[in-house]
Amino acid sequence: MKNYVKLVDFELKRFMKIYLALIGIVIISQIVGVIVESNQFMNLANGEMLDGSMNLAQFLETYWPLTMSRILFSSWFILPVGLSAAALIFYCFFIWYRDWFGKNTFIYRLLMLPTARINILLAKASAIFLMVLGLVSIQLILLPIENIIFQTIVPLDLRVDMTIREIVNVSGYTGYNGYLQMLLPTSIVQFFINYGIGFMTVFTLFTAILFERSYRIKGIIFGVAYCIFALVIFLSPFIIEVFSEFGYFYPEELFIIEVILGIIVTGISIWVSHYLLNRKVTV
């Protein structure tokens, strides 16, 4: 356990500069976005009402009151979140290939450490998971601050106040920001579903990468085939539903089956990765 914790700490420190830059981009972009979008709305309202072409009721009927969920749909929010997601997906590959192709071929030293090689796999996955949770925590802290800024700029007559829970739920229901409901699930069950699928995906990608590192050119084929295999296994109940004339499973049954299949796919990925690290990836 001590070696595992040290490896997690080591992996986090290696990515920390880029990670802090991502956090900075998210914070600056979102706060600036709230200020810019709110001021643009106020300029529009002042322009329409001060020249006498519209009164308050007509303006609200035409443009609707401003809400935080509308602001969250702007590129000020979507782009930094998308950038962070893309960076972490890229890091799933970089966290391994950097060790092989970086300075002094660090993977050789890493594999010779006096610890079980499974700890290397688990530490890399844990580092990514912790970074995802860190970004989600930043978003949870930012939303109340952004809501206060929004309420400070836009007067009550021109806005609709919402709680953080309402912002996340309404965003998902209206199709504005489905990503918010994915990142900030409003129930513990949905949290485990969303992040469990994410964890399963990370381990599947790690297994594909280790196939490539173990068998090189053939490993690319093995890795792609394994990803397809994992996807088919996980989605098999939905595939059965599509090809069956009537609904084959009840919703509760489908949920339980998907949870079991997710655990199975994750377990297989960890087992295969462990096997490759111990038997095929050599120093």
pLDDT at 170: 67
Tell me the pLDDT tens digit for each residue of 28-55. 999 999 999 999 999 988 888 887 678 8
pLDDT at 266: 96
Task: Find, among 31, 56, 29, 32, the residue nearest to 45 by Cα.
Answer: 56
Q: What is the DSSP letter of 102?
A: S
Tell me the pLDDT tens digit for each residue of 53-87. 788 888 888 888 898 888 888 889 889 988 988 99
Tell me the pLDDT tens digit for each residue of 77-114. 889 988 988 998 888 888 888 878 766 667 777 778 77
Q: What is the mean pLDDT of the chain?
A: 86
What gap in Å lies between CA 253 and CA 242, rounded to an integer? 16
pTM for the structure as a whole: 0.85
Q: Residue 182 pLDDT more than 80?
A: no
Q: What percent of the chain has pLDDT over 70?
A: 93
Task: Find, among 172, 197, 196, 202, the residue nearest to 184 by Cα.
Answer: 172
Range scoring the smallest mean pLDDT among 33-42, 74-83, 122-131, 248-257: 248-257
pLDDT at 31: 95
Give, to the nearest 10 degrees, the angle between helix 118-153 and helix 75-101: 160
pLDDT at 115: 79
Q: Residue 152 pLDDT more than 90?
A: yes
Q: What is the CB-side half-sphere exposure of residue 40 using CA atoms within 13 A?
A: 10
Q: Residue 229 pLDDT more than 70?
A: yes
Tell me the pLDDT tens digit for each residue of 202-228. 999 999 999 998 888 999 999 999 999
Q: Residue 176 pLDDT more than 60?
A: no
Tell me the pLDDT tens digit for each residue of 183-201. 777 778 888 888 999 999 9
Q: What percent of the chain has pLDDT over 90?
A: 40
Using DSSP, state whether 124 is helix, strand or coil: helix
pLDDT at 174: 47
What gap in Å lies between CA 259 and CA 234, rounded to an integer? 9
Using DSSP, state whether 56 is helix, strand or coil: helix
Tell me the pLDDT tens digit for each residue of 155-167. 998 998 888 888 8
Sign of the four-CA dihedral 231, 234, 236, 237: negative
Token readout for 31 is: 């706060």
Token readout for 257 is: 């089956």
Q: Residue 272 pLDDT more than 60?
A: yes
